[in-house]
């Protein structure tokens, strides 16, 4: 089990998204995230589960 904690910058690179998009997704609870103070953080394991669950979703 990986307990790796990722920053917005890490997630943006991992998902090949703009950092602003990651912020918007975290704020609207579209991606698993939590806050440490004012900074968003992400568990790699939860992101990988989220990816698997949303693999074949149609865009809304």
pLDDT of 10-40, one tens digit each?
Answer: 999 999 999 999 999 999 999 999 999 999 9
Eight-class DSSP state of 57: P
- Sheet of strand 34-36, all strands in order from the earlier edge strand to the far edge: 5-6, 39-43, 34-36
| Domains of the chain, each with CATH number or no CATH | 5-53 (1.10.10)
**pTM as predicted:** 0.85
pLDDT classification of 56: cutoffs 50, 70, 90 = confident
pLDDT in the model for residue 60: 58
């Amino acid at each position: 089990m990986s307990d790796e904690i990722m920053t917005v910058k890490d997630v943006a690179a991992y998902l090949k998204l703009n950092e602003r998009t990651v912020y918007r997704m975290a704020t609207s609870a579209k991606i698993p995230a939590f806050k440490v103070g004012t900074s968003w953080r992400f568990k790699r394991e939860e992101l990988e589960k989220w990816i698997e669950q949303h693999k074949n979703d149609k865009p809304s």
